[in-house]
Amino acid sequence: MISPIVSVPRPGAPPGATSLVEALEGGAVLMFPDLDFPFSAFEERFVERPFADGKAKNVNIRGEAAELRGAAGTPEEQEALRQVLLRYRAFAQGLIDRYLPAYTGKLTLAGTSYRPFDVDRRKLSWRRDDTRLHVDAFPSNPIGEKRILRVFRNINPNGQPRHWRVGEDFGSMADKFLDRLPGYSPLSAKLLAALRITKARRSEYDHLMLHLHDALKQDMAYQESAPQADVHFAPGQTWVTFSDLVMHGAMGGQYMLEQTAYLPVTSQADAAKSPQRILAAKLGRPLR
């Protein structure tokens, strides 16, 4: 089954679904067509040209200090862009509080990013090529017993949609790849953390997800023939998904905002639907 797109009109009752949380945890992408996030006349410059230094894919803020990283422009412009990202962080929290209240107080907001570059024009290695179907996993930042929830918004001023591919459900994908993955070494994970190559010790789940991420991106036969569908998110639309569960590839589009949040598996309505528990069930044992 391909991940469904669930449109959520105001005030927030998706047609044919009893719960947005149930849909989200089941592998859906929630799409909000008409939530307001206006730009001031000064802020409109951020969608007229990329205000990025070009050293990284995105401009972002993280942590309490919300220091702006990767931006270009005058000090006044950079501070205005930082304020846009702070406002988007609040927008994402407000969306969660209104439409996903079961997660309120349980989520931790992480990085907030401004993504001004056209996906099609980035020349990246296969591992960093996000046009290929993948699930999210962070090499230096182990997730362990947390989920990756992301809130995206297309802010393109010229009508250009954000073009995604979405793939088959996580369990069906895992059935094809799990047997190919190398075994987990607790000693290696401990060493990586001791050397500060990773911010914490990689769990077996982190190990499996990193290798799934790479195996998926390397397998061009799978990329071309796997069950998948094209999705276009228009300017002004906002979409939310668990990006560690939903197979996705960003195929095109320029100018987007994104908020990452972490949710403990134990705070889900149904922890059995998490990739952590799905992988454990397929292996027939708890993950280490």
pLDDT digits (tens, 9 = 90+) for 226-277: 999 999 999 999 999 999 999 999 999 999 999 999 999 999 999 999 999 9
Contacting residues for 47 by C-beta, under 8 A, at least 6 apart? 39, 116, 155, 156, 157, 255
Domains, the chain, with CATH or none: 19-283 (2.60.120)
pLDDT value for 3: 87
Is residue 12 very low, low, confident or very high in pLDDT (cuts 50, 70, 90)? low
List, in sequence order, the alpha helices (H) in 111-263. 170-177, 186-194, 204-218, 220-225
Question: Taking residues 5-31, what's their average pLDDT?
Answer: 82
Please give the pLDDT value at position 121.
52
Per-residue pLDDT at 11: 67
Q: Tell me how far apart the terminal alpha carbons of the chain are, to the nearest angstrom.
A: 29
Structure confidence by residue, pLDDT tens digits, 88-139: 999 999 999 999 999 999 999 999 999 999 885 556 688 888 899 999 999 9
| Least confident piece of the model among 53-62, 70-79, 174-183, 239-248 | 53-62
High-pLDDT (> 70) share of the chain, %: 95
d(CA 143, CA 243): 13
Per the confidence metrics, is the pTM higher than 0.85?
yes
Q: Which residues contact 206 (CB under 8 A, 6 or more apart)?
A: 137, 142, 143, 144, 189
CA 11 from chain center: how many Å?
24
Burial label for 159, CB within 10 Å (0-12, 13-18, 19+), is exposed
Q: Supply 157's token pair.
A: 């001023």
